[in-house]
Amino acid sequence: MSRLVTIASSTALALVLWQALVTLAALPPFILPGPGRVAETLWASRALIAHHATITAAEVLIGLALGAILGGLSAIGLASSPMARRLIRPIMVFSQAIPVFALAPILTLWLGYGLWSKVAMALLIIYFPVTSAFFDALMRTPPQWLDLARVMGANRARLMWHIRVPAALPGFASGLRLAAVYAPIGAIIGEWVGASKGLGYLMLLANGRAKIDLMFAALIVLAVLTLLLHAGVDRGCRKWLDGKAVG
């Protein structure tokens, strides 16, 4: 209950400051609409916004699932093979030096303006955080656990799946929490570059037509979706880890 009160208080304070800025600075609606006007537009355009939000949510969820699977498998592969660490890890680090905005047009050219170019963009932006967090956790397995398992006759595969992976699950969960925040960014970037659906497309369309209230409404819905996704992933990870600990 106290957490809900804190969130409600913070939201109310933000709305009051927003309205105060609009009123005191006498800003016109096409520059910065007030929260009341945005709320009216959000309600009036709820069907339109919900349609585009569904598209963006699908892109984010698919990208998050694929990124979690590929990132987890990549981390296990890197932790299992010194050769892979020497050859592949530098390439992964170098890939982070390439701005994601530069990749979005290429992915759109290769995969088209539909769903999969946005899924690929979300996957790319979350792949490295998931892989890095899980890999670091795999490499920090307590040595005494490994020594005890070796004394008991465990081979490399059993060490990985029965000792190192279970010990590294909190790190994997941390990567997933980060991915839940980053995945919508990738999807929106993809929609900005080329799309006919989604909240990113709707924001660009509203901005081009000077419907700033609609743009803010779509932005608020995107922020709420991101918060809900992060909260859902965080809660799921906590239950998953608690279940593993009990088991």
CA-closest candidate to residue 54, choices 46, 65, 64: 46
Structural domain of residue 146, as residue ranges?
A: 38-246
pLDDT at 94: 82
Q: Decide if pLDDT at 44 tops 90.
A: yes
Q: Determine the Cα–Cα distance for residues 169 and 133; give it in Å rounded to an integer.
A: 10
Domain-located, residue 53? yes
Q: Determine the Cα–Cα distance for residues 247 and 238; give it in Å rounded to an integer.
A: 14
pTM score, whole prediction? 0.91
In tens, the pLDDT along 150-181 reads 888 888 889 999 999 999 999 999 999 999 99
CATH of the domain at 193: 1.10.3720.10
Domain-located, residue 19? no
In this prediction, residues 33-48 reach a mean pLDDT of 95
Q: Decide if pLDDT at 59 tops 90.
A: yes
In tens, the pLDDT along 74-88 reads 999 999 999 989 888
In tens, the pLDDT along 106-148 reads 888 899 888 999 999 999 999 999 999 999 999 999 989 888 8
Number of domains in the chain: 1
Domain-located, residue 106? yes
In tens, the pLDDT along 207-236 reads 989 899 999 999 999 999 999 999 999 999
Confidence of residue 1 (pLDDT cuts 50, 70, 90): low
pLDDT at 243: 77
Domain-located, residue 189? yes
